[in-house]
A and B are shown apart, each in its own frame.
Chain A
Amino acid sequence: MLHMINRSPLGCPSLESALRVAANGAPLLLLEDGVYAARPGTRAEGLVKTALAAHPVYALEPDLKARGIERVIEGIRVIGYDGFVELVEQHNPVPWL
């Protein structure tokens, strides 16, 4: 399953909820406001590093650029819309609204 997180980690517990449920190794995709989790130096950085230890974590580049996020936490894979489509083709998506 592909866990899709589209809410900011400091405004909404979506990422925490997803991590409680997600099986080890299941990919996480940060998109829309979810990409704020990718930004280094936020209060959510520890949570994201925990996620990276057990899951591949992807962040959608157009959403990063829109929000002025130029650097991401090490280990997060930045992808475009083509990569997004590939992930959805390979895994059943689970949105965490």
Chain B
Amino acid sequence: MSTKIVMLMRKPPYATVYPAEGFRAMMGMAVFEVPLCVVFLDDGVYTLAKGQDPTGIDMKPLSAGFAALPDSGVTEFYVHDQSLAERGLVPDDLVMPVTVASAAEIEKVLAGATAVLPF
């Protein structure tokens, strides 16, 4: 089986270091062309919400970093449909095009992974 890393993003941006560290790990793996895909679940979907302006809390917008990942060769993004719906969000509210996936579809993505890295 070929290597495939799945990044499982479940935390909202800014309050903890998890999403930023996940992003850093992705950039590192992208440099070495490690095949990876990114799954956004639960509050992790907020990481991709449009309109983020964290200058007032002295941070950089994490959403812009994720939106630029395709330039580094990371192109597979899955967002859990129910996690979006529970937060009153639709795909148009996100900063980038993603594959909206059911829990069963996400289970298949996780099952196909060499390793799942949680952030």
Residues of A within 8 A of B (CB): 6-8, 10-11, 32-33, 36, 39-43, 45, 61-63, 65-70
Q: Are B14 and A61 neighbours in the complex by a CB distance under 8 Å?
A: no
Shortest distance between the CB of A40 and any CB in chain B (Å): 6
In the complex, what distance in Å separates the CA atom of A10 from the CA atom of B63?
A: 20
B99-113 to A contact mask, C-beta < 8 Å, 1/0? 000000000000000
Residues of B within 8 A of A (CB): 11-15, 42-43, 46, 49-57, 59, 63, 86-88
Task: Name the B residues within 8 Å of A8 (CB-CB).
Answer: 12, 43, 46
Q: Are B43 and A10 neighbours in the complex by a CB distance under 8 Å?
A: yes
Q: A10-B42, A11-B43, A33-B15 are in contact. Are A67 and B49 (CB under 8 A)?
A: yes
Determine which of A33, A42, A45, A70 lies in contact with B12 in the assembled complex, contact meaning CB atoms within 8 Å: A33
Q: Are B14 and A66 neighbours in the complex by a CB distance under 8 Å?
A: yes
In the complex, what distance in Å separates the CA atom of A45 from the CA atom of B52?
A: 21
Task: Name the B residues within 8 Å of A41 (CB-CB).
Answer: 87-88
Q: Are A68 and B86 neighbours in the complex by a CB distance under 8 Å?
A: no
Q: Are A42 and B57 neighbours in the complex by a CB distance under 8 Å?
A: no
Q: With CB as the reference atom, state the residue of chain A lying closest to B95.
A: A68
In the complex, what distance in Å separates the CA atom of A7 from the CA atom of B16?
A: 10
Shortest distance between the CB of A84 and any CB in chain B (Å): 12
Q: A10-B43, A39-B87 are in contact. Are A62 and B52 (CB under 8 A)?
A: no
In the complex, what distance in Å separates the CA atom of A52 from the CA atom of B86?
A: 20
Shortest distance between the CB of A48 and any CB in chain B (Å): 12
Q: With CB as the reference atom, state the residue of chain B lying closest to A32.
A: B15
Q: With CB as the reference atom, state the residue of chain A lying closest to B10.
A: A11
